[in-house]
Amino acid sequence: MLDATNAGTLMVRVTWSDPVTGQAMERTAPLPITIGRTAENTVVLNSDRVSRLHTTIESKGFDVVIRDHNSRNGTYVEERRITEEVLRGGETIQIGPFRLAAEITLSAQPSASGSMPAAPLSSSKLTPRLVAVRWTHLKTGESRALSVATPAIIGRQPGCTIVLLSTQVSREHAMIEIEGDQVIVSDKDSGNGTYVNGQRIERVVIKPGDVMQIDQFQLTLALTAPDTPRPSSANAVPPGSRPAIGAVLPPSQPVVVRPSLPTPAYTPPPAPLAPPPNDPTLVFSDQTGVLLPFVPEKPKLDPFPPPIFQQPVVPVWQLYRGTVTVLETTYLAIGGGIGSFTWVDHMLSAGVAPEQIVVLGLEPKPHSRYERLCRNSQIPGHERLRSNSDACPDNIWGWPSYGLREMWGSLKKGQLGNLFSVAWHIFGEPVLADTYTPRSVDVFAAMDKEAIRIGWGRIWRYGQAKAIRKTDDGRYAVAVTTVNERREPVNLVMLARFIHLAIGYPGVQFLADLQEYRDRTKDFKRVVNAYEQHDHIYDHLARQGGIVMVRGRGIVASRVLQRLYEMRRYNRNIFILHVMRSPLLTGHHYGHARRKVINHMDLQPFNWPKACGGGTLRAKLEKANDHERDRLLNDWGGTTTAKRADWLRIVSDGLREGWYQIRFGTAKRVEPNPYGQVFTLMKAINPGEPENWVASDFIIDCTGLEAALDTSDLLRDMVQHHRLGRSPKGRLRVRNNFEVEGMENGPGRMYAAGAMTLGGPLAMADSFLGLQFAALRSVEALAAIQAPGVKHIGPWRSFIQWTRWVRGVKP
C-alpha cells in the first residue's frame, strides 16, 4: 500500500520534448508539482498558450490527481479536456503545444522540502569537499588534473564536470560522490563500462592507489581537504539522504521504489528503453559528405589540430614557426553548401573581389548534399521543393522568382497548360490554389548557372574545418584537412580576418528504438531513415508487395506516402501503417489564428508561418528577448506538412480503401521475426490496452534531420573552447546581424547562417530565404564596419548588380 506520509514521498517524473527542436526534457520532483509558463513553476513550459499557473499534479488520498487551474487553453489528458483527473501514470498530457508524459514513483525516504532538479549536478548543495581527479589518455599521453566538487559526472556531454571526448564514452558515463570520508564511483549505465583496477564496476569505494579506466582514459581519484570549509546552507540535504530519482544509489539502500504491484490505482510505468549504444543519429562522412549508415569509429584524439590549438588564443608567430602549412585569406566561408553559396553571392555583389574569399567544403557543387537528401527523401527532379517562389539561392533579389521563370520557360517551349497552371497558383495561392513551389531540378540548374557567373569553382576548395580558434592578432586560425595535388590528405591551418559558418545539419535523426535495432542486428535494409538511399524498398514493394510502417508525420512522411502510393500502381498489395504517438485534432494557435489540421497532420505551406520570413512575425521575433523567442518559436513551430490536394487525396483514398491505416501509440522495441519481417512492440495510448507486436516488411523513419550543436565536432569544440553561449534552442548564439556572439576578436568577426542559428533573430533559419536573409544581414554588418572591399548595397549598386545578373556577367 502506498502511503505518502509514512513510506516515503511520491515523486513524479515529467518528460516532454521541445516542440521545435524535439529535444527531450525531463524533470523529477516530489508531489505536489506545478506546471506553467512562469519560472517559479516546477515544470516551466514556455509558450503563450500555456497559462502562468496552468496545471498541478498532487496527491489526494491514495490517488495522484492532475488539476487544471482555469487555464485559458485547457489541460488535456489522452485528448480529453479535464478539470481534475486521477493519473495512473503513462498518460499523454497536452498543455499548449507541449505533449508530456508523467510517471509516478515512490521514494522510500522523505525528501527535502521543495522540488528537486531533474539534473541534480550543478545545483546540488552537498557539503563541499573536493576530489582531485587526474586523467591521462593512454595513447596520446595527454594528461589533465582538476579538483571537482561532488557529485561530479564524467561523460562526453558538455554539461559534465569532467568531459572525456570520445564516442566510446557515454553522454553521462560515471559519477563521483563522497560519502563520509570515502570517494565512491558509480557507473551510470554506460555503454562501454567503467573499470576500476581492470574490473568492470557498478559502484565501488575508491581506495588509495586504485586506477580507474573509461575507454582510453586512465583516471586516479583522491579526496582533498576543502580549502575553506564552508558551512552547509540551511536547506542543504545531509549526505546520503538524497532521494532524486535517476541518481545512482547503493544497491543495499533501495530508495527509489517503482510501484510495480501496488494498489490498483497505479499501473506499472513503462520499463525504460536500454540506452542505445550510439547516438540516435547518422552522420555525414568527414571525407565525402555522404550519409553513413552507422556512426564511424573515430580515431582517438587525432594529433591534428596542432597542440598550439589548446592555448586559449593561438599565437600567430608560433604557428608560423611550427611545421604545419599556414595559408592566409581575408574571408573564409566554412561549409561549402547553399548557405556559403548565398553568402559569397552577396559578398561579391557588395564589391568583394573573388580572390579575397576562400570557401571550404566537401563537394564542389553547393547543392550536392541538399540534392542528395532531397532525392533520398523522395523529391526527384520533377517534384517540387517546399520552398517559396522568390526564395532563390541564385539571385539575391528573389526576382525574377522561380514562378516567373517557369512561366517564361513554359512559354518558350509552348507548354501553355503549365504556363496557366503556374500563373493560377501564383495568383491564387494560398486561397484559391495550393501554394506554388519550384521544381527541384530548376533550382539546382539555376544555382549551377549562378556558380559559373560568380566563379564559384575558383573560390571553392576541398577541405574540412576541424577546429576554429581566435588568434592573438585579431584573426581566426582554422585547422583544415584537405588534399594535395596527388589527392593525399594533408593538414594545414588557414588564417582569416572574417569567417562565415554555414555547415548545415550535422546528421540525420534516428528514432532511438530503430537505431538500437540497427546497431544490434546490422540490418540496414528493413529499417531505414527516409534521408538514406532506400530505393530497394520501393523496388521490392513493386515486385512483391508488403507492409510498410511509416514513423513521423512531417513533410518527409508525406513524400514517402506519395512514393508508396505511386508504387501501388505496380502492385496492389502494398499496405501502409502510419504510426503516430497520439491523435491530433486541433492545430497550434497564435493570436486570432489557428493552424489547420487534417488527418492528424498539421498543415502549413512552409516550415514556419510565412510572415516569419519577412513580415510581422519576423519583426516580432527579431525584437524579442531569449525567453520570448523560445516561446514564439514553440508556438509557431512543430512538425508540419504542406497542404497539397494530391497528398490529401492519397490519405483519404487510402483510409477509405483500407490500404493506409493510422496506428496511435508508442513503439518500444523492434525485433526481427522468422518470416523475414520486423516486429514492433507497440504500447497503445489507452493504459488499459495490452502491448502488442505489429509486423511489417519495412520501417521508414521520417522524423527528420539532427540539428543538435554537439553532433558537430567543429562547433562543439569551438563553443567549449571559447566558452560561447547558446541560443534558447541550444544552437549557436548569434546577434541580429548573425554575428556569432563571443567570437569577435579585435577587428575579426564571425558570422553564421542556417540551421545552427535557430533561436536567433530568424525562425526560418534553415530555409533558402533564411540563408539569403542571414547573408544580407552579415554583409550589411561588414559594410558598416568597413571590412575590406565590402560596400553597402544601396539602390544604385543593387540595380547595377541586378542588370549584371540578367546579362550573366560576373558581379
Partner 1 sequence: MTPTLLGRWETRLLLFATAGSLVTAIFGLIFHDFKTPFLVLAYVLLFGFGWDAVYQLLITYRWDQDWPTFFQVLAAIWEAAFLWLLLRTVGLPGLKPGPTGGQFIWHYTFVWLSVFVISQGPLRTFFVGWRYRGGEWL
Interface residues toward partner 1, by CB under 8 A: 390, 396-401, 404, 426-432, 587, 590-596, 604-605, 609-611, 613-619, 773, 776, 780, 793, 795-796, 798-799, 802
- Give the Cα separation of 686 and 114 in Å (integer): 32
Tell how strand 162-163 and strand 152-155 pair up. parallel
Q: How far is the CB of 346 from partner 1 (least distance, A)?
A: 9
Dihedrals phi, psi of 142, to nearest 5 degrees: -65, 140
Identity of the residue, 378 or 389, whose beta carbon is nearer to partner 1 in the bound complex: 389
The distance of closest approach from Cβ of residue 773 to partner 1 in the complex, given in angstroms and rounded to an integer, is: 5
- Smaller CB distance to partner 1: residue 48 or 697? 48
State which H helix or E strand residue 494 sits in.
strand 489-501
Minimum CB separation of residue 798 from partner 1 in Å reads: 5
Task: Name which of 351 and 614 has its Cβ closer to partner 1.
Answer: 614
In three state form, how does the secondary structure of 548-593 look?
EEEECCCHHHHHHHHHHHHHCCCCCCEEEEEEECCCCCCCCEECCE
Cβ closest to partner 1, residue 219 vs residue 621: 621
User: What's the min distance (Å) between Cβ of 555 and partner 1?
Assistant: 16
Least distance (Å) between residue 394 CB and partner 1: 15
Return the number of the residue (314 or 612) whose C-beta is nearest partner 1.
612
Q: Are strands 281-283 and 507-509 parallel, antiparallel or unpaired?
A: antiparallel
φ/ψ region of 5 (left if φ > 0, alpha if ψ in -120 to 50, else beta) reads alpha
Rounded CA separation 37/631 (Å): 9
Minimum distance from CB of 424 to partner 1 (Å)?
A: 11
Which residue type sits at 326? Answer: V
User: In terms of CB distance, is 53 or 648 closer to partner 1?
Assistant: 648
Residue by residue, what is the 3-state secondary structure of 292-322?
A: CCCCCCCCCCCCCCCHHHHCCCECHHHHHHC
Write the CB contacts of 258 (distance below 8 Å, at least 6 apart in sequence).
105, 106, 268, 269
Give the C-alpha separation, 662 to 377, whole Å.
21
Nearer Cβ to partner 1, position 192 or 798?
A: 798
DSSP 8-state code for residue 145: E
Contact predicate 102/13, CB 8 Å: yes
Provide, rounded to whole angstroms, the least separation between the CB of residue 620 and partner 1: 10
In whole angstroms, how close is the CB of 802 to partner 1 at the nearest point?
Answer: 4
CA distance 177 to 194: 15
Nearer to partner 1, 486 or 592 (CB): 592
Using DSSP, state whether 420 is helix, strand or coil. helix
Rg for the chain, CA atoms, rounded: 28
* CB-nearer residue toward partner 1: 658 or 794: 794
Choose among 264, 262, 272: nearest CA to 106: 262
Residue 494 contacts residue 332 (beta carbons within 8 Å): yes
C-beta of 7 vs 404, nearer to partner 1: 404
> Which residues make Cβ contacts (< 8 Å) with residue 396, sequence separation at least 6?
342, 345, 346, 349, 772, 775, 776, 801
Q: Say if CB 154 and CB 161 are below 8 A apart.
A: yes
**What whole-number distance in Å separates Cα of residue 30 and Cα of residue 12?**
6
Residue 524 or residue 799: which is nearer to partner 1 going by CB? Answer: 799
CB of 288 to partner 1, least distance (A): 35
Closest approach of Cβ 507 to partner 1, in Å?
A: 30
What is the closest distance, in whole angstroms, from the C-beta atom of residue 399 to partner 1 in the complex?
4
Beta carbon of residue 398, minimum distance to partner 1 (angstroms, whole number): 6
- CB of 494 closer than 8 Å to CB of 358: yes
Residue placing its CB nearer to partner 1 in the complex, 309 or 608 = 608
Between CA 44 and CA 52 the distance in angstroms is 9
Provide the 8-state DSSP code for 503: -
**Nearest CB to partner 1, comparing residues 476 and 773:** 773
522/516 Cα distance (integer angstroms)? 10
Q: In whole angstroms, how close is the CB of 449 to partner 1 at the nearest point?
A: 18
Q: Would residue 800 be called left, alpha or beta, if left means φ above 0 and alpha means ψ between -120 and 50 degrees?
A: alpha
Q: How many Cβ atoms from other residues are within 10 Å of residue 432's Cβ?
A: 9
**507 pairs with which residues across the strands?**
283, 706
Site of grid cell 530555409: 767
Residues recorded for the chain: 811
Query: What kind and span of H or E run contains 340?
Result: helix 338-349
Minimum distance of partner 1 from residue 754's CB (angstroms): 16
Residue 687 CA to residue 710 CA, distance in Å, equals: 36
> Cell for 613?
520570413
Min dist CB 805 to partner 1, Å, is 9
Give how far Cα 700 sits from Cα of 178, 183, 641, Å.
47, 47, 17
What are the residues whose beta carbons fall under 8 Å from the beta carbon of 520, sequence distance 6 or more?
Answer: none
Is 35:21 a contact under the CB 8 Å cutoff? no
Shortest distance, position 607 Cβ to partner 1, whole Å: 12
Instruction: State which amino acid sits at residue 368.
Output: S
193 vs 403 by CB, closer to partner 1: 403
Tell me the C-alpha distance between 641 and 792, whole Å: 38
Nearer to partner 1, 53 or 783 (CB): 783
CB of 585 to partner 1, least distance (A): 16
Between 269 and 554, CB nearer to partner 1: 554
Which CB sits closer to partner 1, 41 or 435? 435
Q: Which is nearer to partner 1, 563 or 588 (CB)?
A: 588
Alpha carbon 332 to chain centroid, angstroms: 26
Give the three cell numbers for residue 56.
498541478
CB of residue 345 vs partner 1: minimum separation in angstroms? 11
